[in-house]
Structure 1
Amino acid sequence: MDQPGLFDTLGLTEYEATALAALLRLGQTTAPNLAEATGIPKARIYDVLDSLADRGYLKVIPGRPKEYRPYDAETVLERAVENRRQELESFEQQIADERDAFLAEFGSADDEAAAPAAELFHVVDVGEPSESETRRLYHEATEEAYVLTKSFEYLDAVRPSLSSALDRGVRIRALFYHPDLLDDAEQRVQAEVVEQLRKQLSAVEFRFSTGRLPWRGTFVDPSMEYDDGEAIFLVEEPEVPDHMRQAALTENGSFVAGFKRYFEIVWDHESVASV
């Protein structure tokens, strides 16, 4: 009955993991049928299914008897990410509610003499760490997100958070390398990604730079008052494979504003809308 791997990461009980795995394989069914198929006690099956429905992993179909239909596997993963994001937001609100009392007792956030100087940059490895930071930027974006990329080959890794940003009304623009600047393999990846954007994420605006870009990355919510924004980027080093590289992160408002100025110049004067 044990369902290891990703089901553990989702924080499901053994019965919940077993029920969800069975539903994803079997499709729509009733609670008694699912209990019979999985060995989950009939006295527990309704509570298990209600818990999965509350998390957004399945839909309850009214009737006599009512039935349970799982969402597709991709939607389950997206809901899991969204659930975790909401948990984080709830935690952040709890911290905010206690902030004033905590600082009053243990020290002021305005005590600049005791505070260390903020670092201009810090780094993470390229791959899952950099993708995780990119997802965070999309989740935290409130107005704008900009992408500088060769082929956006990591789209699948950030798709749920990017989609969430679009749903919140965040404007997202992407500057791709022109295909003529890519090798054959990169051209194929880029063509597939562009097709996905056109069919599934049509709110994402994109163009193709006519020249090589000096860096790649994502930056969000730049302010021309230089007091807001965040970015993750890496300087182009064609001779160094990505898996041996690190990406830089910054919350320096002036730096992020500079990114925006550069992006808009290329977007307006050194890019084309289609290839």
Structure 2
Amino acid sequence: MDDAGLFDTLDLTEYEATALAALLRLGRTTAPDLAEATGIPKARIYDVLGSLSDVGYLKVIPGRPKEYQPHDPETVLERARENKRQELETFERELDEARDSFLATFESAFEEQGDVRPAEELFHVVDVGDPSESETRRLYHEADRAAYVLTKSFEYLDAVSPSLAAALDRGVAVRALFYHPDLLDEGERRVQESVTERLREEFPAVEFRFSTGELPWRGTFVDPSTTYDDGEAIFLVEEPEVPDHMRQAALTANGSFVAGFKRYFELVWDHESVATS
């Protein structure tokens, strides 16, 4: 990974990331020397260093010329955390200030529409990838009782593992149905083997089995209810000829659909799956 990639989570521009990486390696230096070392245009270097100073990642040492001293890496990360905390506090304060006006403007008009929606609006879609993984994390965060996963190899475990761990800590029961390895190609089998080993070691509370037949859909659903008034799901139907990055996942909060998903899951779990691969 290049230097810029290491700073993605700090929301730095390419020049800012390059400058900070060089400062952390070189230590205290001047703007012209840093521009020379990094290739950042001299016309931009002062603005770049000013931005890094504003967010607390370096100190400006007065003099002729000025010098720039980076904070140590641990302090940089702590400053980044504090900056995000303050951003969140500001956002929440602005949201609270706008709340009464927003509700007064839109709430009554929205309620006048009634609760009935056409069938096609029971679902909405997001792209497969970061958007679908974000929605999956949300489901884990909001789950109260149970979460169910149907998957080939759970290859996105890294992306959802903190949310999964938090759900387990809250006492949410989690079950996963994998494709049997015989139904996967060699690459998928290797991924599945690694993931299931990780589940055994890091998430022993997760129950999982292996479906002996192909599944018509994959996804995650949470908190199904026998009264059909609760639960959410994100899923995609199997379309082997379409790459995942070109696909969309459907989301629904319709309790009847989610209850149906659970019924299907239980039938496969009880009658068409095995405990070991």
TM-score range relative to shorter protein: 0.5 to 0.7
Give distance in 2, aligned partners of 1:127 and 1:190.
18
> Is 1:129 aligned to 2:155, yes or no?
no
Segments of structure 2 that go 5 or more residues without pairing to the other structure are 25-56, 62-68
In the other structure, the counterpart of 1:191 is 193
Q: Is the 8 A contact 1:103 1:109 kept in 2?
A: no
CA-based RMSD = 3.9
For the pair shown, the structure with the greater C-alpha radius of gyration is: 2
Q: Does 1:117 align with 2:117?
A: yes
Q: Give the letter for the 2:130 counterpart.
A: E
Indicate if the aligned counterparts of 2:58 and 2:71 stay in contact, CA closer than 8 A.
no
Gaps of 5+ in 1: 23-37, 57-79
Pick which of 206-215 and 157-166 moved more. Answer: 157-166
Q: Supply the distance in 1 between the matched residues of 2:10 and 2:158 (Cα, whole angstroms).
A: 19
Residue correspondence of structure 1 range 58-77 to structure 2 within 5 A: none
| Residue 272 of structure 2 corresponds to residue 246 of structure 1 | no
> 8 Å contact 1:175–1:267 — kept in the other structure?
yes
After TM superposition, the score normalised by the length of structure 1 is 0.67
**1:231 paired residue among 219, 230, 233:** 233
The CA deviation at 1:114 is: 6.2
Q: Give the counterpart letter for 1:111 in structure 2.
A: E
Correspondence 1:43-62 to 2 at 5 A:
49=75, 52=78, 55=81
Verify the 8 A CA contact 1:126 1:243 in the aligned structure 2.
yes
AA at the equivalent of 1:180: D
Aligned residue for 1:175, secondary structure, equals: strand
Counterpart residue type for residue 117 of structure 2: A
Alpha carbons of structure 1 residues 225 and 109: separation in structure 2 relative to 1, 3 Å: farther
**For the Cα contact (< 8 Å) 1:142–1:221, is it kept in 2?**
yes
2:147 corresponding residue in structure 1: 145
What does 1:79-90 align with in structure 2 at a 5 Å threshold? 87=88
Distance (Å, rounded) in 1 between the aligned partners of 2:70 and 2:151 = 50
State the shift of 1:225 in Å.
1.1
What is the deviation of 1:250? 0.9
Report the number of matched residues: 228
Pair 1:162 & 2:188 matched: no
Q: Which residue of 2 aligns with 1:200?
A: 202
CA distance in 1, matches of 2:163, 2:211: 25
Is the partner of 1:226 in helix, strand or coil? Answer: coil
Counterpart code for 1:273 = A
Native 8 Å contact 1:215 1:236 kept in 2: yes
Shift, 1:53, TM fit: 8.5
Give me the whole-angstrom Cα distance separating, in 2, the residues matched to 1:236 and 1:170. 27
Deviation sequence 1:191-223 (CA, Å, 0-9, x none) = 111111111111211111111111100111111
| 1:244-265 deviation line (CA, Å, top 9, x unaligned) | 2211111111101100111111
In the alignment, which residue of structure 2 is the partner of 1:267?
269
Aligned-pair distance for 1:233? 0.6
